[in-house]
């Protein structure tokens, strides 16, 4: 640059201009205003403009997305200009570390740097570099303060139930009024999109998987808010979005630009929204219950043609049995596929660890449905099952009653010991420090016994100690069998894996017993009337014959 001046030649410069989307409307920040000011300066100081590098609508915190900046740095490396001029320092970078890195790299290629409105900094001198560092730090502090204030405003909007994000599928943003950059908006339901959202929730609550729902929507020509085909992730995001049930959630993730999904916030802001919900609360709760259940169990267990995958237990090692396939031939020599359930441990580790113990798919599944019908059709079988439930319940209560007697005796013994220690202390027969430490230990033991007494009392009280009525068991199994009979394959498998905990197979490849667990949530969501309308496309496990009996605790039934 000095050589150019000495030869009285004009300086060849590069102009760098940047404006983010949020700054487009700010006075003096526009692309045109920056370029005009920089061109006037070059004309007045005999500088020749090599090129204008412009990043429009891009934040200053991003380095990789600023393609014009990358091109300018490449041209600087080639020696195509000797100086870079910007309108303000924060146009080049918002973060001080990025600013210093860019200026240092320019300096390495003998390219100077100048700010039009902060012209006191000459980066060719140590004092100028120091001043630039101070100015960059002030600029970054100013940016951080702006972001903090903006974040406070967004948090307050979320707490009052106002939206901060783009409208999701099913809604559109309507501008009520506008003053400058400040807009007063509301979310309005888009009926045709809302129907798609409700369909997704109803299908999922009916037992359909994410892939099945996405395929169904794409087959019918539906698209996401951005006009793309539905994917598993798109369906999943809709099912997890509480906005559809009338809630506003903000700050689910922290520092998204760097951490992405790893920056999950344990305490996001959740409030009642000011918008109209699309999904009924009951349907939302049902979908949430299924999402939670499937989050801890492999999706393969819930979906596919093999209904009992993971439910059948190997008679040799107790591992879950999974599907396998063989190809036999009929009398004409044509291949006939046959499906079996086989020990998963044998399939993964080999025959040295366990045997296949295969049971045919149709045999196992037919037995399940036949057994359910048999139990309902023959009252004496069900009465025997109910009797067994109550006998096991009674036998489990006896040890608790004995433990309660022991706990009560222990409590009384501790009270007596404390009284004796207090009497000895008052008679000055024991050291006070010893007595105090001993009483402290007795108080700790006393608290533990009282806590255990309360637990046992709860287990022995109310429904925990009362016999299970025959009518309750009959109603639960009847509803379960009814839904299985009239559900489609996806629904049927979902029900089986929600209700059945395990199916025991004998070594001669026969089903020995089926263990079912009913609790208030499964009963409420799947054995009562459907929360969605009865004439919906999938029905969401419809059952119109009254309400299932209330369950205060989980009930295990083995048939």
pTM of the predicted protein model: 0.54
Helix, strand, coil tally for the chain in percent (to 5): 50, 15, 30
Tell me the DSSP string of 58-117: --TT-STT-HHHHHHHHHHHTTS-SEEEESSHHHH-SSHHHHHHHHHHHHHTT-EEEESS
CB 551 within 8 A of CB 519: yes
Mean pLDDT confidence for 294-312: 67
pLDDT by residue (tens digit) across 457-510?
Answer: 776 765 555 677 888 888 888 888 888 887 777 778 888 888 888 898 888 888
pLDDT by residue (tens digit) across 322-380?
Answer: 888 787 777 777 878 888 888 888 887 777 888 888 898 888 888 888 888 888 888 88
Percent of the chain scoring above 70 in pLDDT:
76
Mean pLDDT confidence for 112-123: 73
Mean pLDDT confidence for 308-327: 86
CB 82 within 8 A of CB 110: yes
Instruction: Identify the pLDDT of residue 51.
Output: 93
Residue that the structure tokens 């045109």 belong to: 32
Residue of higher predicted confidence among 251 and 278: 278
Q: Describe the strand order of the beta sheet including 335-343 as a list of residue ranges.
A: 321-329, 335-343, 359-360
User: Between the CA atoms of 67, 73, 76 and 78, what dihedral angle is there, to the nearest 10 degrees?
Assistant: -80
Q: Are strands 11-19 and 47-56 parallel, antiparallel or unpaired?
A: parallel
Bridge partners (DSSP) of residue 301 are none
* CA atoms of 309 and 289, how far apart (whole Å): 21
pLDDT band at 24 (very low <50, low <70, confident <90, very high): low
Instruction: Identify the pLDDT of residue 2.
Output: 43
Residue of higher predicted confidence among 432 and 410: 410
Angle subtended by helix axes 191-205 and 281-295, to nearest 10:
50
pLDDT by residue (tens digit) across 501-511?
Answer: 889 888 888 88
* CA atoms of 555 and 459, how far apart (whole Å): 14
């Amino acid at each position: 640059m000095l050589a150019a001046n000495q030869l009285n030649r004009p300086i060849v410069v590069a102009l760098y201009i940047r404006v983010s989307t949020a700054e487009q409307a700010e006075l003096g920040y526009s692309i045109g205003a920056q370029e005009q000011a920089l061109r006037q300066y070059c004309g007045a100081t005999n500088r020749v403009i090599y090129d204008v590098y412009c990043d429009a609508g891009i934040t200053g915190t991003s380095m990789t997305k600023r393609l014009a900046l990358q091109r300018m740095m490449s041209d600087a490396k080639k020696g195509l200009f000797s100086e870079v001029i910007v309108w303000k320092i924060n146009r080049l970078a918002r973060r001080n570390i990025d600013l210093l890195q860019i200026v240092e790299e320019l300096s390495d290629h003998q390219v100077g740097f100048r700010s039009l409105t902060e012209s006191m900094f000459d980066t060719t001198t140590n004092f100028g570099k120091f001043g630039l560092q101070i100015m960059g730090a002030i600029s970054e502090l100013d940016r951080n303060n702006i972001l903090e204030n903006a974040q406070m405003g967004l948090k307050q909007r979320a707490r009052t139930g106002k939206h901060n994000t783009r409208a999701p599928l099913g809604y559109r943003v309507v501008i009520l009024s506008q003053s400058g950059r400040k807009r007063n908006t509301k979310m309005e339901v888009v009926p045709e999109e809302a129907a798609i959202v409700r369909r997704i929730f109803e299908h999922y609550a009916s037992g359909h998987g994410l892939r099945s729902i996405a395929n169904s929507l794409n087959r019918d020509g539906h698209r996401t808010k951005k006009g793309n085909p539905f994917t598993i992730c798109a369906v999943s995001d809709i099912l997890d979005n509480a906005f559809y049930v009338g809630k506003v959630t903000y700050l689910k993730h922290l520092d998204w630009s760097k951490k992405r999904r790893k920056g999950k916030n344990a305490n996001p802001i959740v409030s009642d929204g000011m918008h109209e919900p699309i999904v009924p609360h009951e349907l939302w709760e049902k979908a949430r219950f299924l999402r939670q259940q499937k989050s801890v169990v492999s999706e393969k267990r819930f979906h596919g043609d093999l209904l009992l995958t993971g439910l059948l237990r190997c008679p040799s090692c107790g591992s879950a049995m999974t599907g396998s396939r063989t190809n036999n031939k009929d009398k004409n020599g044509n291949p006939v596929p046959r499906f079996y359930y086989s020990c998963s441990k044998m399939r993964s580790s080999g025959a040295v660890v366990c045997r296949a113990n295969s049971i045919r798919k149709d045999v196992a599944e037919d037995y399940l449905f036949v057994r359910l019908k048999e139990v309902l059709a023959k009252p004496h079988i069900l009465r025997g099952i109910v009797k067994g439930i109550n006998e096991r319940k009674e036998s489990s209560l006896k040890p608790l009653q004995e433990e309660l007697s022991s706990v009560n005796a222990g409590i009384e013994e501790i009270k007596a010991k404390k009284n004796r220690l207090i009497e000895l202390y008052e008679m000055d027969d024991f050291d006070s420090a010893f007595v105090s430490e001993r009483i402290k230990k007795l108080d700790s033991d006393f608290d533990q016994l009282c806590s255990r007494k309360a637990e046992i009392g709860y287990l022995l009280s109310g429904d925990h100690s009362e016999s299970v009525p025959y009518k309750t068991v009959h109603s639960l199994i009847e509803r379960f069998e009814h839904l299985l009979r009239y559900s489609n394959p996806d629904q049927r498998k979902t029900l089986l894996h929600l209700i059945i905990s395990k199916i025991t197979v004998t070594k001669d490849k026969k089903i020995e017993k089926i263990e079912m667990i009913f609790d208030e949530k499964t009963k409420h969501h799947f054995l009562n009337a459907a929360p969605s309308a009865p004439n919906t496309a999938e029905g969401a496990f419809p059952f119109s014959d009254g309400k299932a009996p209330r369950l205060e605790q989980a009930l295990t039934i083995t048939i």
